[in-house]
Amino acid sequence: MDANVIFFEHLKRADVARVGGKNSSLGEMIGTLSARGIRVPAGFATTADAYRAYIAHNDLGNRIGAVLADLAAGRVALAEAGRAIRGMVLAGEWPADILADIRKAYRELSARAGKAAASVAVRSSATAEDLPDASFAGQQETYLNVEGEAALLDACRRCYASLFTDRAITYRSLKGFDHMKVALSVGVQQMVRSDIGGSGVMFSIDTESGFDKVVLITAAWGLGENVVQGAVDPDEYVVFKPFLTRPGLVPILEKRLGEKEIKMIYDAGAGKTTKNVATSKAEREAFVLTDAEILELARMAATIEDHYGLPMDMEWARDGDTGALYIVQARPETVQSRTAAGAMKAYTVKTKGPVLVSGLSVGNAVATGRVCVIESARQIDQFVDGAILVTSTTDPDWVPIMKKAAAIVTDHGGRTSHAAIVSRELGVPAVVGTGNATQALTTGQEITVNCAEGETGLVHAGISTFTVEDLSLDRVPQTRTRIMTNMADPSSAARWWRLPSDGVGLARMEFVINNVLRVHPLALLHFDTLTDARARDDIAALTRGYADKAEYFVDGLARGLSRIAAVVWPKPVIVRMSDFKTNEYAELLGGRQFEPVEENPMIGFRGASRYYHPSYREGFTLECRAIRRLREEMGFDNVVVMIPFCRTPEEADRVLAVMAEAGLERGKNGLQVYVMCEIPANVILAEDFAQRFDGFSIGSNDLTQLTLGVDRDSGDLAGLFDERNAAVLWMIRTVIERAHRVGAKVGLCGQAPSNDPAFARLLVEAGIDSISVTPDSFLAVKTHVAAAEA
């Protein structure tokens, strides 16, 4: 039977030539990883030799070759050639020995499952697929919930025919594979009852940035085809791999609830193996996976990656009867893992039209062009080469036009959908899961697809101007002065993971509160007292799934900051506690009810003065709870806390006391607490502040403003605002000198060295310990500092 059919447990990863990448990988995992907790459903594979015997038995080789030759010469169209070859294959008869072997193996598999006729998944596995440089994602067909010998044989024949779908022919041509040298193995695998459970896709690497310390998991109800094809907007989870082996930690960096409007289930009707049905309201509003299941899958991903020695792309399924999690496919990740480690491109959009639609960003790039809305694969001949493809969702039939598109925009799909995976491999930026692109955009309309600003991809009206900068990390100079980065947006932090920075010198908490949480903390704590009905409705929608609305704030803030902390771990990340001014706090949902109206918020009720004041103290306690969770429950003890706008040493004592009450005691569990140096009093009383804090971080904007008495936002006074002014430089040199005298560190996190890298020379001459700059100016500042030190 081995010549035609082999059970998975007798296969190894080296058997690609015999049974293709997909099936050899399943055998490898069953044989070597079962003992390490990896569950793979039982099954068998037909061999490549069986495929060749089928082709020879039906005398198809020369006939297929002739059609492909006509296609190459332009004598026949792609669709016509594919249809002709598939028809030949489907009309073929099974050789007697192969027929007998498939039937015998299916009966054995059914007996193992305790069934007269097991329900199986029938998957295609080409002998050239799942290679490190080519994914062949979805190029051949898969058939689910197949029962009975006749149905199985029919599905196997259809898998053979799918080697010559239009998309498969196009893909092989694109990758330079000889059509006649690629054979097909069929994997027959016992079905997991994920139709009443859940399923999805996961990667052991961040699919957008290539950040190699996370697992990305997507999940939806029902069978996994909807996630793979992008027909559903799935849940999304991100897990930090280095902490998976630490007992007690829950390093889930992100949990995003997907719409999950449909699910694929078994169809008992004659001739139909599966069908899509609408999900219930409860299913749409619930996460598919529990935290324990997320961590179990992430550990499986890390184990598989460790075994194969390279980043992996996996499909998983949860059995609805038993709750057990299974890996049903595993193949090498083919895009980010091959990106040159020393090369980065930074795109900056200079002119931006209004945002027409937004979704998940794929590709970290920018493209402009005219829209071409295509509703179905039957209309792909209407696509204009070089246009921006806009459609509801894509499947492998779309590949011939996807490779000709300047960019891709879809209504549905997640980061692991077909559109996302193929876009990455083709190097085409995409915005997926917009919800309404096919309605909001019209054919011929000029747009800009902007995937360069974090996880949210934006589609702007009109043709934007943008720049592309090549950042080479091959020759970054060494410096004694630590060069760190300023970060605020968790969604774009992973873009910069390859920068050899010394940590994050400023992570702005208020950015996470404003852009991710959007709610005033006191509006969550006192939700029942809110007088603004619209704000109440908006807050109720944002906090769905949280019985305790304050937990929404703590959970969201901890996860948002964790994504910044993860990028540079174990290097330090200095998180500045909230530094909104009262007018900015008032703009948060429900905020106006809790904020005073001030004539001059810039020097009003801000920073440290809020933290111990009765009107905000309980809001600050939520911030402290988030930091404690980040450090102690998630594991990011590289996080340093920084207090902004602290006017007096006595005020520092009061803030530190409130923090200690909330479980954040300076020195306990290694916690360091810094203070912003942005008020002249911080310089004048530097020794006193240094007794209470572990270090200073100079905020050059506020320090310049308050030293010179110049409103930094005033256009009329812009000429007077100068960080190089002698009085400001005296302040910087003096605080460094006095802090060092008592053993405290000093850094600078202001905008000056980012805007003017030469300013870094002045800081080095003053003896600064660290400089924190925007990521895009890191290399320039690092070079200036190295020159200054030399």
Name the residues annotated as catalytic.
Answer: 418, 749
Strand order in the sheet with 252-256: 252-256, 235-240, 214-221, 198-203, 312-318, 325-332
Cα(244)–Cα(559) distance, rounded to whole angstroms? 16
Beta-sheet pairing, 5-7 with 43-46: antiparallel
Rounded to 10 degrees, what is the CA torsion of 429, 435, 437, 438? Answer: 120
Cα(230)–Cα(416) distance, rounded to whole angstroms? 8
- What letter represents residue 120's amino acid? V
Beta-sheet pairing, 466-472 with 456-461: unpaired
Contact (Cβ atoms closer than 8 angstroms) between residue 269 and residue 574:
no
Tokens found for residue 744: 């405290």
List, as one string, the DSSP characters of 144-206: EEE-SHHHHHHHHHHHHHGGGSHHHHHHHHHHT--GGG--EEEEEEEPP-GGGSEEEEEESS-
Contact (Cβ atoms closer than 8 angstroms) between residue 742 and residue 727:
no
List, as one string, the DSSP characters of 404-473: T-SEEEESS--TTSHHHHHHHHHT--EEE--SSHHHH--TT-EEEEE--SSSEEEEEES---EEEEEEE-
Burial of 715 (0-12, 13-18, 19+ CB in 10 A): exposed
The CA angle 75-76-82, to the nearest 5 degrees, is 150
Beta-sheet pairing, 355-362 with 456-461: antiparallel
In order of 624, 629, 633, 635, the CA distances from 661 in angstroms are: 10, 15, 18, 21
Cα(451)–Cα(191) distance, rounded to whole angstroms? 38
Cα(80)–Cα(327) distance, rounded to whole angstroms? 37
**Upstream peptide bond of 242 is cis (omega within 30 degrees of 0):** no
Residues 6+ apart with CB under 8 A from 365: 345, 347, 427, 429, 451, 452
Q: How many H helices and E strands in the chain?
A: 29, 30
Tell me the backbone φ, ψ of residue 585, rounded to 5 degrees: -60, -40
- What letter represents residue 395's amino acid? D
Cα(702)–Cα(603) distance, rounded to whole angstroms? 10
Residues 6+ apart with CB under 8 A from 214: 205, 206, 238, 239, 240, 241, 253, 494, 566
Tokens found for residue 283: 């299913």
User: What residues pair up with 482 in beta bridges, in sequence order?
Assistant: 770
Burial of 358 (0-12, 13-18, 19+ CB in 10 A): middle
Helix (H) / strand (E) element for 705: namely: helix 700-708
Cα(427)–Cα(429) distance, rounded to whole angstroms? 7
The DSSP output letter for 242 is: G
Angle formed by the axes of helices 649-661 and 617-628, nearest 10°: 60
Cα(284)–Cα(256) distance, rounded to whole angstroms? 12
